[in-house]
């Protein structure tokens, strides 16, 4: 078959149009998708949500979906590939990681026990707590451990002097205290503000005690990082920027926190921001703090005593970001 010059020119023109369309399509490539879970609607778990709302994931070329995977569901959702990263306590993460070696923490937001032990107004001192009920979330969890820390600091024996009552979720801790169902409980912002306004007695601020205990962690699957090293790095970089937003842009952070916590109460948001802005600029999981969690777990399950913190932590991605100078540049010098 022979083609005339005009026909050939027409074919070339359409081929060029098709090539141009392909280039445009490539330039508008879809963002990488990632799902990030969080175990509690608490300030310490809000960083990925803040990062997304501020546009940091989008700037990294990531379409991030932030979903709540409450309580013990959090590690299960990660193992089942329902989420790619998850914010959860080391207390939740470690038992699952023992069973499934694929689960690992990339970093953490809190090195020290940081909640507050709060009692009703009629509880003036430690002696007034004897024989009373102390609210916790679940038996043996981090809330109970924090309560035990506080009671020991007050000179009380948690097993003899009080009765622990499991309330199920952290959402009901404040209401149980408010209604008198419990005489004391463990709170974090914004619950602490409501307690202060109601004249409750703040007996022990665990932050002041500097008790190492790894709280919120950034957890993922080793297999996810192996298959998607660049995506995992970019996601972690967006989270690091979320921490920076917390520490450097109060008003913008509080606006986003209001959406996450479901409140417009400025005092509550101020209290929440003050609490969370103390998180480290470089969110490493601290092995000595992880060891404290292992010690806690081994109190009721001796098998945990055989494990070492390094078995649950992989700081390579965060170290890579840190050594590049990225975090220090965010803070205009040396990040703290």
Q: What is the DSSP string of 180-233?
A: TS-SEEEE-TTHHHHHHHTT-EEEEEHHHHT-B---EEEEEEHHHHHH-HHHHH
CA distances from 215 to 69, 89, 98 (A): 17, 5, 18
Residue-wise pLDDT tens digits, 93-120: 999 999 999 999 999 998 888 889 999 9
Give pLDDT, residue 335. Answer: 67
Quick one: how many helices (H) and strands (E) in the chain?
Answer: 16, 10
**Mean pLDDT computed over 196-225:** 93
Residue with tokens 């979330």, as numbered in its chain: 137
The candidate with the shortest Cα–Cα distance to 283, out of 330, 221, 227, is 330
Residue-wise pLDDT tens digits, 135-171: 998 887 778 889 999 999 999 999 999 999 998 877 7
Give pLDDT, residue 11. Answer: 40
Give pLDDT, residue 152. Answer: 93
What is the distance between the alpha carbons of residues 304 and 260, in angstroms, rounded to a whole number? 35
- Listed in order, the ranges of the chain carrying CATH 3.40.190.10 are 32-111+213-330, 116-209
The candidate with the shortest Cα–Cα distance to 97, out of 213, 221, 218, 229, is 221
Is the pTM higher than 0.85? The answer reads: no
Residue-wise pLDDT tens digits, 62-81: 999 999 997 778 889 999 99
Task: Using a pLDDT cut of 90, give the percent of the chain over it.
Answer: 66
Pick the CATH number of 32-111+213-330 from 3.30.160.100, 3.40.190.10, 3.90.1150.10, 3.40.50.300: 3.40.190.10
| CATH architecture of the domain with residue range 116-209 | 3-Layer(aba) Sandwich (3.40)
Question: Would residue 262 be called left, alpha or beta, if left means φ above 0 and alpha means ψ between -120 and 50 degrees?
Answer: left
Residue-wise pLDDT tens digits, 170-204: 778 889 999 999 999 999 887 888 898 899 999 99
CA dihedral 133, 136, 137, 142 (to 10 degrees): -160
Q: Using 50, 70 and 90 to split pLDDT, how confident is the model at 263?
A: confident
């Amino acid at each position: 078959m022979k083609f005339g010059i005009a026909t050939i020119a027409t074919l070339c023109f359409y081929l060029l149009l098709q090539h141009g369309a392909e280039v445009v399509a490539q330039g508008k490539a879809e963002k990488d998708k990632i799902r990030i879970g969080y175990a509690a609607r608490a300030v310490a778990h809000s960083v990925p949500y803040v990062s997304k709302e501020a546009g940091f994931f989008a700037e990294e070329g990531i379409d991030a979906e932030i979903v709540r995977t409450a309580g013990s569901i959090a590690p299960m959702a990660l193992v089942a590939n329902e989420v790619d990263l998850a914010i959860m306590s080391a207390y939740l993460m470690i038992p699952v990681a023992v069973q499934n070696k694929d689960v690992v923490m990339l970093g953490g937001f809190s090195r020290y026990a940081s909640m507050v032990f709060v009692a009703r107004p009629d509880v003036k001192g430690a002696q007034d707590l004897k024989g009373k009920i102390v609210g916790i979330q679940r038996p043996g969890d981090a809330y109970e451990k924090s309560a035990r820390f506080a009671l020991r600091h007050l000179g009380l024996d948690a097993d003899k002097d009080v009765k622990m009552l499991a309330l199920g979720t952290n959402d009901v801790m404040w209401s149980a205290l408010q209604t008198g169902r419990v005489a004391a409980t463990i709170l974090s912002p914004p619950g602490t503000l409501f307690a202060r306004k109601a004249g409750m007695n703040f007996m022990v601020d665990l932050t002041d005690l500097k008790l190492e205990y790894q709280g919120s962690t950034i957890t993922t699957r080793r297999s996810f990082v192996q298959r998607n090293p660049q995506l995992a790095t970019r996601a972690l970089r967006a989270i690091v920027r979320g921490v920076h937003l917390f520490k450097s842009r109060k008003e913008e952070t509080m606006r986003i926190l209001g959406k996450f916590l479901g409140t417009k109460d400025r005092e509550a948001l101020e209290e929440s921001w003050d609490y969370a802005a103390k998180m480290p600029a470089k969110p490493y999981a601290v092995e000595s703090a992880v060891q404290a969690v292992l010690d806690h777990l081994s109190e009721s399950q001796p098998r945990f005593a055989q494990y070492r913190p390094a078995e649950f932590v992989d700081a390579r991605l965060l170290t890579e970001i840190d050594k590049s100078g990225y975090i220090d540049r965010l803070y205009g010098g040396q990040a703290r």
